[in-house]
Amino acid sequence: MPRILLQTTIFPDPDNWHIGRFSRLRDHLASLEGVDVVARDRGSPPGETDPVLGAIDGSDFDQLWLFAVDEGDGLNAEECAAIGRFRKAGGGLMVTRDHMDLGCSICTLGGVGKAHYFHTKNLDPDASRNCRDDADTASIDWPNYHSGANGDHQAVEIVGARHPIFEGVDRLPAHPHEGAVGAPSDEPLARVVARGVSRASGRPFNIAVVFEAGPDGGRALAQSTFHHYCDYNLDPRDGCPTFVEEPPGDSMVRDPTALPEALRYFTNVARWLG
């Protein structure tokens, strides 16, 4: 039975993006035949090694879906090394973050970490992109691509041959300030497979980068924001942390085909990583 670990990079906090805010993803994956899902936050505070992440290479998990919701202190060197060994042994890895420097502790995760660009670490090699996109939320700087309101959906542009994770999927949940990802130039098995378009600037931006299996390990996916998977973005009536300022949309709820399409995406990712 495939085992999937859904893991955030923060200690449990009811007023943050803790793992309970990904319950719809958890329940959907658990409904798939033959899939076992474990969903958890960090079990140790920042700086201390988490007992699960720090030993994941010796676990019976087949996939790790890592939601980097920290402010830079979410993973330590021991945990990053264990995750690297997990992928090297063939484990599937999905890593996602959000705007600016949110989740930048993933920068040291080897190839998948290098696919994520932040505000002060591992900047986008295209310097013209290191500028503000969303101008509505003054407290959030680049990268902050505005794909739409939380609770709305966005159209996705397929890049190159349609990848299996986007089979039957042309939309994803939107977010007012997505992060930045790209295919590292020294990773021949990595490629951008989907882009979005900013509703603020009209500029295209990368949404998903896949790493095919090879000498460096199992399949992996780097994604521009964890909000593609979050309860609040699937249905804003599920609520959000008190620090969220932007008014939500509702097209994910109004359009009866939007949520099933997002759930199909989750299924596709799980199958491909497996």
Q: pLDDT tens digits for 18-32?
A: 999 999 999 999 999
pLDDT score at 1: 64
Nearest Cα residue to 118 out of 102, 134, 132: 102
Prediction pTM value: 0.98
Residue 241 clears pLDDT 90, i.e. is over it? yes
pLDDT score at 46: 86
Give CA–CA dist 103/223, Å, rounded: 12
pLDDT in tens, 123-178: 999 999 999 999 999 999 999 999 999 999 999 999 999 999 999 999 999 999 99
E-assigned strand segments in the chain = 3-8, 36-40, 63-67, 92-96, 116-117, 153-155, 157-158, 171-173, 180-181, 190-197, 204-211, 220-223
253: number of Cβ within 10 Å:
16
CATH of 3-273, one of 3.30.70.100, 3.30.420.40, 3.40.50.880, 1.10.620.20: 3.40.50.880
pLDDT score at 110: 82
Contact 171, 153 (CB under 8 A): yes
Give CA–CA dist 75/132, Å, rounded: 27
Mean pLDDT of 42-64: 96
Mean pLDDT of 236-257: 97
pLDDT averaged over every residue in the chain: 97
Number of helices (H), then strands (E), belonging to the chain: the values are 6, 12
